[in-house]
Amino acid sequence: MKILVTGGAGFIGCNFVHYLLENHPEDKIVNLDLLTYAGNLESLADIADKPNYQFVKGDIADMEQIDALFAREQFDVVVNFAAETHVDRSIKDPGVFVRTNVMGTQALLDASRKYGVKRYHQVSTDEVYGDLPLDRKDLFFTEETPLHTSSPYSASKAGSDLLVLSYYRTFALPVTISRCSNNYGAYQFPEKMIPLMLTRALHDEALPVYGTGENVRDWLHVKDHCAAIDLILQKGREGEIYNIGGHNEKTNLEVVRLILEALDKPESLIHFVEDRKGHDLRYAINPEKIERELGWKPQYTFEKGIRETIAWYLEHREWWQHILDGAYKEYFQKMYKM
């Protein structure tokens, strides 16, 4: 099978490329990535020379380039990870989110249709459902929960999901969508909460917790996400949406305290800063559909996963220090003024 993975130089995409090469060595993989600030070929250095893997630098929203790539490669499967993904950046500059996430998805859908792709999979997020109240622990997102987005990021992801579903209904393009909760694990860009807190704590720098730190996220190890997508590609029903999550809700403060404890750093590093605009209160996934239909179950407990993740960041200082020393430095100063 020939698989196009877009955004394969980003956090989840590079984990998925590693996952495919380990679990399906018979497949051929093309990784298309624009190498924005979030794309990093250092995450793929160990597999760059594999004969069944190829990297192509390119933009999913560049229709001409996408058409030429599809004409040349004749993909069987497309898995679209490529996106602008950081909520804070979407609040500062929504335009690029609409371009990449919505128009990029459309370009991939058109090419998938034209060249007869057998499965188009859209990697989406639970953020399309908006948020749940903090005082209703009985409520969870199901696949039927109405879309109710809060940020330009989540709105652009919801827009792309709707386009994907429209290509199924109107053109019978064989599509699937997965909506996963917050991921953590190796190779996550240090603008996101867990690696940001980890890398700053290692430097004894202040940890900027938004608002009161009571917001809840439902954390899933990135390898469990990759395994779920693989199952959907193999056994998922066309036209269907699958929520992915492991019932692992934690407040941001709980996660930050856990990181500090693991690194033996003081709680005095915690600094409460101005809240994010439109900050979603709580995300929580009901994963019954993927468990029941496809037999998926997460393999990681949070305790094991976070321990391994912390160990990975300790062992791969060079990987994240390169990022912190680069253009990210300016972003951080502008964004946090600290």
Residues at the interface with ligand NAD (CB under 6 A)? 6-7, 9-13, 33-36, 38-39, 59-61, 81-85, 100, 104, 123, 125, 157, 180, 182-183, 189
Whichever of 31 and 150 has its CB closer to ligand TYD, that residue is 150
Spatial CA neighbour of 216 closest among 149, 135, 291: 135
Whichever of 101 and 269 has its CB closer to ligand NAD, that residue is 101
247-258: b (≥16 Cβ within 10 Å) or e: ebbbbbbebbbb
DSSP 129: G
Segment 178 to 237, residues that bind ligand TYD, using CB under 6 A = 182, 192-193, 196, 208-210, 215, 217
Q: CA 169, CA 166: separation in Å to the nearest integer?
A: 5
Quote the least distance from Cβ 89 to ligand NAD, whole Å.
9
Q: 154 and 130 in contact (C-beta within 8 Å)?
A: yes
Which tokens sit at 153? 């990021």
Known catalytic membership, residue 205? no
Whichever of 31 and 85 has its CB closer to ligand TYD, that residue is 85
Quote the least distance from Cβ 86 to ligand TYD, whole Å.
6
Exactly one of 33, 59, 126, 230 is catalytic; which is it? 126
Exactly one of 53, 153, 167, 168 is catalytic; which is it? 153
DSSP 80: E
Quote the least distance from Cβ 23 to ligand TYD, whole Å.
27
Please state the three-class secondary structure of 3-66 as a single string. EEEECCCCHHHHHHHHHHHHHCCCCEEEEEECCCCCCCHHHHHHHCCCCCEEEEECCCCCHHHH
Which tokens sit at 57? 């630098």
94-133: b (≥16 Cβ within 10 Å) or e: beebbebbbbbbbbbbbbbbebebebbbbbbbbbbbbbbe
Whichever of 87 and 306 has its CB closer to ligand TYD, that residue is 87
Contact with ligand TYD (CB under 6 A) among 44, 87, 103, 222: 87
Known catalytic membership, residue 127? yes
Binding mask 280-309 for ligand TYD (x = CB under 6 A): ------------------------------
Query: What residues are labeled active site?
Result: 126-127, 153
Residues that bind ligand TYD (CB under 6 A): 87, 182, 192-193, 196, 208-210, 215, 217, 252, 276
